[in-house]
Structure 1
Amino acid sequence: MSIAHLRKDYQLASLSENEVAGDPFTQFATWFEQAMKAEVPELNAMSLSTVNGEGKPSSRIVLIKEFDQRGFSWFTNYDSRKGLELEQNPHAALLFFWSALERQVRIEGKIEKISVQENDTYFHSRPLGSRQSALASAQSQPIANREALEQKLVAVVDQYGDAPPRPEHWGGYRLVPELIEFWQGRSSRLHDRIVYHRLENGSWQVQRLQP
């Protein structure tokens, strides 16, 4: 079978603009909880797309760590490629794809950095190895080989033991959404797409989009 003929007909569920929550965060929480109950693998994994100062996009998978009425949050190295691109252009897009439920959620908005206190609280809740790696790795920078990276980790362990401090270049971002779209796969590619647009007064407009 050729790649062009790989396809799946989605039939698990439907999504109506008359049934979704009036608030997109409530709707996201409902879908996230359903994904948890369905034991969807890596349900907290999301694609993060950024654009640099030259207008060139890039994407990668990161893990969501919190969502609430303020937005969607994750943590990373501020000096990484994504961090530098967000510094140049503080707008980004997130994408969740839960294939087991035939669903995806697209989120677009502005980026803000999380507070120092929140950064410290989360950093010190991480497993020890993850905290040590945050100090050892100059994320996105070239290195000669794996051995050199592991030697950097050994140096961090020798210096800080089991109490590594949070490096200043490591912290969180929050995407404050302007658009959130919920996509439910349907048969014959007539998918359900319900989109929320944030209005100037902070309320949300709900619309159905054609597939």
Structure 2
Amino acid sequence: MSKALVIGHSGGIGSALAAELDARGYEVTGLSRSTEGLDVTDEASVASAIGALTGPFDVILCATGALEIDGAVPEKTIRALTPKAMLDQFALNAVGPAMVMKHAGPLLPRDRRAVMAVLSARVGSIGDNRIGGWYAYRTAKAAVNQVVHTAAIELARTHKQAICVALHPGTVATKFTEKYAGRHKTVPPQEAAANLLDVLAGLTADQSGGFFDYSGAEVPW
């Protein structure tokens, strides 16, 4: 049986991804802050939690993140930006996934196709940014996109069939987005999870390092 690891499996989309993977026949392992005490901003916590696992995992998904941290909301103007908000966002949404990739990467098999994916967001795209705002969150997501792209280059040297990508899930109807969905069409977590896994199933190794949305379309950097 193929094995999957979901980091952040207790969250809205993380739990949906775990359930969908299970429905597709994977043996699923989950780690999160609320259930296993995993703190992705603390490398020792990441190393300990992931180091206790037995691989290999055919699919590794990092579904951690937050839009609001310690009461700081997405900025409408640069005048509202604070160093703490930027550093908090960077720690959770960029450094966290980077540490997950650092420690989980060795659990990918080298002899067959494998996938490692990080949930990013379209607002992290520099090329697609036409309305501004959301400085701290945008910057952190742009940073994690760079981490994914760079890690994919390194991973390809040892894992020829591996696929390492960033994913934009769309606006998913969770507590994470409920205050900010506005006029955006939302989808239930279960539908978003199915969409993302369909995208991953269709990717090939030569697409590793890319940034894809829930429909499989490539998102500009």
TM-score surpassing 0.5?
no
Q: Structure 1 length normalisation: TM-score?
A: 0.28
Flag the structure with higher helix content: 2
- The higher radius of gyration belongs to 1
Flag the structure with higher strand content: 1
| Greater relative CO (CA pairs within 8 A, separation 6+) | 1
